[in-house]
Amino acid sequence: MIDAFIYDLEIVKAIPNKNEERMQNIQYCDGWHDHAGMGMSCLCGYDTLSQRTRVLLNDNVKDFQEYTEGDTLIVTFNGINFDDKVLRACFPDLNYPLTTPHYDILAEVRGKTGQFVKLDQLCRDNGLTVKSGSGAFAPVLWQQKKFGEVIDYCCNDVQMTWELYELIVKNEGKINMRGHEITLRTPAEYLEQFCEEHEADNKPFTLGDVGLGPSSE
């Protein structure tokens, strides 16, 4: 049984939108490319093996390394292009190798369909938990010291990603998207390919039976 760690993070500084006026008393980063300038407000995750929810802030973000040093599959929605980049830019000393196995559901969708879809839309299409707020507004709430509200929002995103991951595993990659059934590469197929490509890297990761952990039983 392979453990999966599903995670999502929120940022401190808002991302400017050229079509909207900047809010007074709110700090902004320099744009979507400014991952270091965004800052991380919180990182929430769920470990399927221990069935433990984690909340990581600046003081304990180093605990994220627990999930990059063993046989753990990182699972996200758009994590490769956003969350990972923010995490590595804000914490360059964090042990999070680029060779860490990472199943990004959005990357799998785009690889299959060539289309971009939001997490909320995909969850709605499949009757799963939906968004509890707006990710774009999360930095504003954080700067207004509404920390609990932001952490709760982030945890909900993790729940959504976990339910979608669970559905992909149970249905052997089949999910609904905008009224059509699509078949994604499964985590097992991803890991098989990953192990073949990184066999020479001597990374201590072994391919076993990919499952959902105790919470799926």
Structure confidence by residue, pLDDT tens digits, 49-108: 889 999 999 999 999 998 887 789 999 999 999 999 999 999 999 999 988 999 999 999
Residue 116, domain member (yes or no): yes
Provide the sign of the torsion angle of the four alpha carbons 203, 71, 164, 146, taken in this order: negative
Residues found in the chain? 217
CATH number at 177 reads 3.30.420.10
Distance in angstroms (rounded) separating the CA atoms of residues 198 and 90: 27
Residue 110, domain member (yes or no): yes
pLDDT at 208: 44
Distance in angstroms (rounded) separating the CA atoms of residues 86 and 207: 28
Residue 139, domain member (yes or no): yes
Residue 207, domain member (yes or no): no
Host domain of residue 177: 3-201
pLDDT at 25: 95
Give the β-pairing of 174-177 and 102-104: unpaired
> What mean pLDDT, rounded, does the chain reach?
90
Residue 132, domain member (yes or no): yes
Query: For residue 209, what pLDDT band results from cuts at 50, 70 and 90?
Result: very low
Domain count, the chain: 1
Structure confidence by residue, pLDDT tens digits, 124-180: 999 999 987 776 889 999 999 999 999 999 999 999 999 999 999 999 999 999 999
- Residue 18 burial (CB < 10 Å; 0-12/13-18/19+)? exposed
Q: Is a pLDDT exceeding 50 seen at residue 8?
A: yes
Residue 134, domain member (yes or no): yes
Residue 212, domain member (yes or no): no
Residue 85, domain member (yes or no): yes
